[in-house]
Structure 1
Amino acid sequence: MTNEFKELLKPATAFEEKDTYIEFPVLRRSQSLEANAYYFGHPEWAEEYLTYCHRSDTFKNRWLTAAEGWDDKVVIDIGCGPGNIQATLQSKPKMLIGIDVAPESLRLAAKQGYTSVLADANNLPFKSRVADIVALNAALHHTENMTSVLKEAARLVKPGGVLITDHDPQHSAWNYKGIAKAMWIARLAYYRLIGHSFHKSSEQQKWALACETHHKPGHGVTKEFFESVLQPLGFDVKVYPHNHHLGSEIFNGDTGPVEFKYKLGNFLSGRNPSAPHSALTLMCVAKKVL
């Protein structure tokens, strides 16, 4: 642990230095937290997640544009998993801190250059206003209380800094109705019949679904959610709906192509599949006002 890292901590904060990460007390271990610790703590599953998720050039372009670069900045990545963002961006931050609840993922993140931290995202051990960039990629919907985690993330952002979230499901796109909802529910029986979906086993599928706490029909984030939480805390909030194969084009209002199964789900729910409210996810870019 470096002196620069210690200077970011709240006074008298207890911790334990492990081989590849620093562990802070987690006072409340919810069912959601335990599911994430198990899934992302599985060595094979964590390796697969690092290899295949959020590793595209479009992801890199989108995130570097949103953050105006990561080089020479203090970055805190909440829900870092095995380190996918830095593995893709390959940037050179002044300090790069990754927070998660799964030791195996933190070990892999350390190999990507993170100072790996095991801590509760609802109660982080850092002082306020210490980071130039706070990132939450595909993280909020894995938490039990999205509002609590978003507020805690916002607390860490310096004036002039930026909070970025991405890859959380958009509520309006996942709010399936009628036959679309019935088909969504029926897919689980199909997965049980064949033993898995795109995961390799029923066990992996089971825990993948368990850790995605807010990724079911009727769940998800909204523009109003981000604005209601972050604007009172002094942020200028911009929200960009998009599907998963676009880079910086999303900042011009493009949402990108829609995969057939999501197009069908929205069409059967009575929505225009190509409309912004049918896009799979929201990217929030919130700048802390000086």
Structure 2
Amino acid sequence: MLKKINTTCSQYFAQPSKIDRWDEDIIICQILNPSPAIQANSYYFGHPEWGLNYFKACHRDEKFVELWQTVIGSWQGKVVVDIGCGPGNVYASLKEFCGEPQFLLGVDVSLGALKMARKLGYTTVLADAQNLPFISGFADIVVLNACLHHCDDMAKVLQEAAKLVRPGGLLITDHDPQKSAYEFKGLGSLLWKLRLPIYQYMKRGGHTTAEEQSWGLATEVHHKACDGITSDMFYEMLEPMGFAVKVYPHNHIVGAEALKGNYGKPFWKYRLAQRLSGINPNSPEAALSLMCVATRMD
């Protein structure tokens, strides 16, 4: 017999039959035939050492906080859903600046990562972002940070996330690679591949051992040369669903200036690979990430 879902959480489940079990107050939903990507994300982010490395190293810097705080303003008293929450980086970075949500729901495929997020204050649900078990239109803010490129079907995940947003609410995505910035060719492609042994030699976060690097790369389904997201995907998917969409290219170093059209420059290693591939590194198409801020109008 399943433990009774707390009142706040239960009202948001459209398909309670998908709840398979509980694990330390984490709701576990069934994922039938998990893909290699889902299995890799589950293992990598749930690894006690690798997950902690990710938590400490990623999306915690001053410019990240500045940009996200400017977009969100305050989530005090609001219902917030963090899809692909991992160990809880978004809330850990912003909790001192954006207030206290009324309800903070974290969704991921990694049980180990969700256990970390739960300790930060998330109500946690293990579920496939491509098939969410929730009702539509209940969230004030839905965030997907560095999430889409870890999923097999990026457009499907975006659609599922958008369904959760209430009229007047926000959908925010960021830190997914812009496809046009990674269309490496020839020497540019070779340089891109050479970064991996260098990262491992430097024991850079996420690459401290060959095993960690291998599993980390397996999670990033769409972070490869000539792969990634496009502005068109956001407009074509979200505008028919009633969203006003704004997309901001940026290079992770400009903070809130990205919202004013200042996308900055890629780091030198990317600029070199881009030049060798015939990409203008000073163009918005060369910006490494796209942030999408979409407001549901109806």
* Category of TM-score, reference length = shorter chain: over 0.9
Identity %: 47
Tell me what 1:116 maps to: 124
Counterpart pick for 2:60 among 47, 55, 60:
55
Which residue of structure 2 lines up, in the alignment, with residue 183 of structure 1?
191
Tell me whether 268-277 or 279-288 shows the greater mean CA deviation: 268-277
SS of equivalent residue, structure 1 residue 108: helix
Cα distance between partner residues in 2 of 1:111 and 1:70: 19
Aligned to 1:166: 174
Classify 1:189/1:109 alpha carbon distance in 2 versus 1 (closer, same or farther; 3 Å): closer
Among 28, 33, 36, which residue is 1:31 paired with?
A: 36
After superposition, the C-alpha distances for 1:103-146 in whole angstroms (9 at most, x for unaligned) are 11101101111001100111111100010111100000000000
Say whether the 8 Å CA contact 2:265–2:287 is kept in structure 1.
no
Cα distance in structure 1, aligned partners of 2:155 and 2:122 = 26
Give structure 1 stretches of 5+ with no counterpart: none
Cα deviation, 1:9-56, whole Å, max 9, x if unaligned, reads: 115434222114111111230011001011001000111111111001
Q: What TM-score do the two structures reach when normalised by structure 1?
A: 0.95
Give the drift of 1:188. Answer: 4.5
1:66 corresponds in structure 2 to 71
TM-superposed deviation, 1:77:
0.4
In 1, Cα distance between equivalents of 2:173 and 2:243: 14
In 2, distance between residues paired with 1:234 and 1:43?
Answer: 41
Tell me the CA shift for residue 196 of structure 1: 6.1
Work out whether residues 139 and 164 of structure 2, in 8 Å CA contact, stay in contact via their aligned partners in 1. yes
Question: TM (normalized to structure 2)?
Answer: 0.92
Structure-2 change in CA distance of 1:11 and 1:203 (3 Å): closer
Residues 11 and 218 from structure 1, CA distance in 2 versus in 1: closer, same or farther, beyond 3 angstroms? closer
How many positions carry a matched residue from both structures? 289
Rounded to whole Å, the distance in 1 between the matches of 2:180 and 2:12 is 38
Task: State the alpha-carbon separation in 2 of the partners of residues 276 and 200 from structure 1.
Answer: 32
Partner of 1:217: 225
Identify which of 254, 272, 285 aligns with 1:264.
272
Determine the C-alpha separation between the residues in 2 that align with 1:250 and 1:191: 28
Contact residue 132 and residue 157 of structure 1 kept, 8 A: yes
Equivalent residue letter for 1:127:
I
Q: Distance in 1 between matches of 2:6 and 2:235?
A: 36
How well do the aligned residues superpose, as a CA RMSD in angstroms? 1.7
Name 2:87's counterpart in structure 1. Answer: 82
Tell me the CA shift for residue 225 of structure 1. 1.0
Which AA in structure 1 matches 2:161?
Answer: A
Please give the secondary structure, in 2, of the residue aligned with 1:217: coil
Segment drifting more, 243-252 vs 72-81: 243-252
SS, match of residue 40 in structure 1: helix
* Cα distance in 1 for residues equivalent to 2:282 and 2:93: 28
Letter of the 1:36 counterpart:
N
1:279, CA displacement in angstroms? 0.7
Amino acid at match of 2:12: L
Please tell me whether the aligned partners of residues 81 and 142 of structure 2 are also in contact (alpha carbons under 8 angstroms). yes
| 5+ residue gaps, structure 2 | none
Partner of 2:49: 44
Identify the range of structure 1 (76-85 vs 241-250) with the bigger mean alpha-carbon deviation: 241-250
For residues 251-290 of structure 1, the aligned pairs below 5 Å read: 251-290=259-298
Aligned AA (2:166) = K
